[in-house]
A = this chain, B = another copy of it.
Amino acid sequence: MARVSQAHLDARRQQILDAARRCFVRNGFHATSMADLLAEAKMSAGGLYRYFNSKDEIVTAIAAQALHGVSGAIEAVIGAQTLPPLHTIVRRLAGEGSPLCADRDAARLLVQIWAEAARSPRIQERFQEAFSGAEAVIGTLIAEYQRRGLISPEVNHTQAARLLIGLLHGFVVQRALLPDAHPDTFNPGLAGLIFGGTS
Protein backbone atom coordinates (compact mmCIF):
# COMPACT_ATOMS: atom_id res chain seq x y z
CA MET A 1 0.00 0.00 0.00
CA ALA A 2 2.47 2.56 1.21
CA ARG A 3 4.37 4.07 -1.66
CA VAL A 4 7.21 5.28 0.52
CA SER A 5 8.91 3.71 3.48
CA GLN A 6 7.87 4.40 7.03
CA ALA A 7 11.34 5.81 7.59
CA HIS A 8 10.69 8.36 4.89
CA LEU A 9 7.39 9.34 6.47
CA ASP A 10 9.01 9.70 9.88
CA ALA A 11 11.82 11.76 8.46
CA ARG A 12 9.36 14.05 6.72
CA ARG A 13 7.40 14.46 9.92
CA GLN A 14 10.52 15.34 11.83
CA GLN A 15 11.57 17.78 9.12
CA ILE A 16 8.29 19.60 9.68
CA LEU A 17 8.69 19.59 13.44
CA ASP A 18 12.25 20.86 13.23
CA ALA A 19 11.22 23.69 10.97
CA ALA A 20 8.28 24.46 13.23
CA ARG A 21 10.49 24.58 16.28
CA ARG A 22 12.84 27.04 14.62
CA CYS A 23 9.88 29.24 13.67
CA PHE A 24 8.26 29.02 17.08
CA VAL A 25 11.48 29.90 18.88
CA ARG A 26 11.86 32.91 16.63
CA ASN A 27 8.31 34.20 16.71
CA GLY A 28 6.12 32.25 19.06
CA PHE A 29 3.23 30.01 18.10
CA HIS A 30 0.73 32.66 17.10
CA ALA A 31 2.97 34.99 15.19
CA THR A 32 4.23 32.10 13.10
CA SER A 33 2.01 31.60 10.08
CA MET A 34 1.70 28.35 8.21
CA ALA A 35 3.32 30.18 5.32
CA ASP A 36 6.38 30.92 7.47
CA LEU A 37 6.48 27.31 8.54
CA LEU A 38 6.12 25.99 5.01
CA ALA A 39 8.92 28.22 3.82
CA GLU A 40 11.18 27.08 6.66
CA ALA A 41 10.36 23.43 5.98
CA LYS A 42 10.62 23.90 2.22
CA MET A 43 7.31 22.12 1.77
CA SER A 44 3.99 22.76 0.12
CA ALA A 45 0.81 23.30 2.09
CA GLY A 46 -0.84 20.21 0.72
CA GLY A 47 2.23 18.16 1.54
CA LEU A 48 2.38 19.24 5.13
CA TYR A 49 -1.26 18.55 5.78
CA ARG A 50 -0.66 14.89 5.01
CA TYR A 51 1.41 14.70 8.20
CA PHE A 52 -0.52 17.00 10.50
CA ASN A 53 -4.19 17.82 10.43
CA SER A 54 -3.83 21.35 11.70
CA LYS A 55 -1.43 23.94 12.95
CA ASP A 56 -2.69 23.18 16.40
CA GLU A 57 -1.56 19.59 16.04
CA ILE A 58 1.95 20.77 15.21
CA VAL A 59 1.98 23.11 18.18
CA THR A 60 0.85 20.32 20.43
CA ALA A 61 3.44 17.95 19.04
CA ILE A 62 6.22 20.48 19.56
CA ALA A 63 5.03 21.15 23.08
CA ALA A 64 4.79 17.46 23.89
CA GLN A 65 8.25 16.80 22.49
CA ALA A 66 9.77 19.69 24.43
CA LEU A 67 8.05 18.89 27.72
CA HIS A 68 8.90 15.22 27.41
CA GLY A 69 12.45 16.26 26.62
CA VAL A 70 12.69 18.20 29.86
CA SER A 71 11.44 15.42 32.07
CA GLY A 72 13.59 12.95 30.15
CA ALA A 73 16.62 15.11 30.75
CA ILE A 74 15.83 15.27 34.42
CA GLU A 75 15.60 11.51 34.61
CA ALA A 76 18.89 11.17 32.77
CA VAL A 77 20.71 13.45 35.16
CA ILE A 78 19.14 12.02 38.27
CA GLY A 79 19.62 8.46 37.15
CA ALA A 80 23.38 8.90 36.76
CA GLN A 81 25.50 6.57 38.83
CA THR A 82 27.08 9.29 40.89
CA LEU A 83 24.60 11.37 42.78
CA PRO A 84 25.25 15.06 42.14
CA PRO A 85 25.27 17.46 45.08
CA LEU A 86 21.94 19.27 45.26
CA HIS A 87 23.36 22.72 44.90
CA THR A 88 24.66 21.91 41.44
CA ILE A 89 21.27 20.71 40.31
CA VAL A 90 20.41 23.60 38.01
CA ARG A 91 23.76 23.57 36.26
CA ARG A 92 23.52 19.80 35.86
CA LEU A 93 20.07 20.06 34.40
CA ALA A 94 20.34 23.18 32.31
CA GLY A 95 24.05 23.55 31.65
CA GLU A 96 25.88 23.24 28.38
CA GLY A 97 26.57 19.53 28.41
CA SER A 98 23.25 18.45 29.88
CA PRO A 99 20.58 16.55 27.98
CA LEU A 100 18.20 19.44 28.58
CA CYS A 101 20.75 22.10 27.69
CA ALA A 102 18.56 25.09 28.27
CA ASP A 103 20.21 27.36 25.76
CA ARG A 104 18.33 30.55 24.98
CA ASP A 105 16.31 28.92 22.19
CA ALA A 106 15.16 26.03 24.31
CA ALA A 107 14.30 28.39 27.15
CA ARG A 108 12.26 30.61 24.85
CA LEU A 109 10.40 27.67 23.48
CA LEU A 110 9.55 26.48 26.99
CA VAL A 111 8.20 29.88 27.93
CA GLN A 112 6.03 29.86 24.80
CA ILE A 113 4.78 26.42 25.74
CA TRP A 114 3.85 27.46 29.27
CA ALA A 115 1.91 30.39 27.85
CA GLU A 116 0.12 28.09 25.47
CA ALA A 117 -0.51 25.55 28.21
CA ALA A 118 -2.37 28.24 30.12
CA ARG A 119 -4.92 28.32 27.27
CA SER A 120 -4.93 24.84 25.85
CA PRO A 121 -6.18 22.01 28.05
CA ARG A 122 -4.42 19.59 25.74
CA ILE A 123 -1.02 21.15 26.29
CA GLN A 124 -1.68 21.78 29.95
CA GLU A 125 -2.28 18.06 30.31
CA ARG A 126 1.04 17.33 28.66
CA PHE A 127 2.69 19.78 31.00
CA GLN A 128 1.16 18.08 34.01
CA GLU A 129 2.22 14.64 32.81
CA ALA A 130 5.78 15.77 32.33
CA PHE A 131 5.70 17.61 35.61
CA SER A 132 4.47 14.55 37.47
CA GLY A 133 7.21 12.49 35.91
CA ALA A 134 9.87 14.91 37.00
CA GLU A 135 8.30 15.19 40.43
CA ALA A 136 8.50 11.42 40.87
CA VAL A 137 12.08 11.17 39.71
CA ILE A 138 13.21 13.99 41.92
CA GLY A 139 11.21 12.56 44.78
CA THR A 140 13.31 9.42 44.45
CA LEU A 141 16.41 11.57 44.49
CA ILE A 142 15.30 13.22 47.70
CA ALA A 143 14.67 9.83 49.22
CA GLU A 144 18.15 8.72 48.28
CA TYR A 145 19.62 11.84 49.90
CA GLN A 146 17.56 11.11 52.98
CA ARG A 147 18.73 7.51 52.98
CA ARG A 148 22.26 8.81 52.99
CA GLY A 149 21.44 11.23 55.78
CA LEU A 150 22.10 14.31 53.69
CA ILE A 151 18.55 15.60 54.03
CA SER A 152 16.30 15.57 57.04
CA PRO A 153 13.87 12.65 56.91
CA GLU A 154 10.99 14.97 57.67
CA VAL A 155 11.10 16.73 54.33
CA ASN A 156 8.08 16.10 52.11
CA HIS A 157 9.21 14.59 48.82
CA THR A 158 6.65 16.28 46.61
CA GLN A 159 7.12 19.68 48.09
CA ALA A 160 10.85 19.42 47.80
CA ALA A 161 10.64 18.22 44.22
CA ARG A 162 8.36 21.09 43.26
CA LEU A 163 10.77 23.51 44.74
CA LEU A 164 13.68 22.12 42.77
CA ILE A 165 11.64 22.11 39.57
CA GLY A 166 10.63 25.67 40.39
CA LEU A 167 14.29 26.61 40.62
CA LEU A 168 14.85 25.11 37.21
CA HIS A 169 11.84 26.90 35.71
CA GLY A 170 12.91 30.15 37.28
CA PHE A 171 16.26 29.77 35.61
CA VAL A 172 14.57 29.06 32.29
CA VAL A 173 12.71 32.38 32.53
CA GLN A 174 15.95 34.24 33.13
CA ARG A 175 17.74 32.33 30.38
CA ALA A 176 14.99 33.29 27.95
CA LEU A 177 14.79 36.95 28.87
CA LEU A 178 18.05 38.15 30.38
CA PRO A 179 21.00 38.42 28.02
CA ASP A 180 23.54 37.38 30.64
CA ALA A 181 21.73 34.56 32.39
CA HIS A 182 23.81 31.43 32.58
CA PRO A 183 23.72 28.22 34.63
CA ASP A 184 27.17 28.99 35.99
CA THR A 185 25.97 32.22 37.56
CA PHE A 186 22.65 30.89 38.74
CA ASN A 187 24.09 27.93 40.54
CA PRO A 188 26.42 29.78 42.92
CA GLY A 189 23.43 31.67 44.23
CA LEU A 190 21.89 28.38 45.10
CA ALA A 191 25.06 27.08 46.67
CA GLY A 192 26.08 30.26 48.43
CA LEU A 193 22.86 31.73 49.62
CA ILE A 194 20.90 28.76 50.66
CA PHE A 195 23.21 25.92 51.47
CA GLY A 196 25.81 28.23 52.87
CA GLY A 197 23.39 30.23 55.00
CA THR A 198 21.15 29.43 57.85
CA SER A 199 17.55 30.56 58.13
A interface residues with partner B (beta carbon < 8 Å): 26-31, 85-87, 108, 111-112, 114-119, 124, 127-128, 131, 142, 145, 150-152, 154-156, 159-171, 173-174, 176-178, 181, 185-186, 188-199
CA of A174 to CA of B30, assembled, Å: 23
Contact between A85 and B199, CB atoms less than 8 A apart: yes
> How many chain copies?
4
CA distance A131 to B178 in the complex (A): 9
Cβ-defined partner of A159 (8 Å) among B163, B169, B185: B185
B199 touches A86 (CB 8 A): yes
Secondary structure of the A side of the interface?
helix
Say yes or no: B177 contacts A160, CB within 8 Å: no
Residues B108 and A111 in contact, CB atoms below 8 Å apart:
no
B155-A196 in contact (CB<8A):
yes
Tell me the nearest residue of chain B to A88, going by C-beta. Answer: B199
Q: If the complex has contacts A31-B119, A118-B111, A170-B170, are A198 and B195 also in contact, measured as CB distance less than 8 A?
A: yes
Chain B residues near A116 (CB-CB < 8 A): 28, 115
Q: Which of B127, B191, B193 lies in contact with A177, CB distance below 8 A?
A: B127
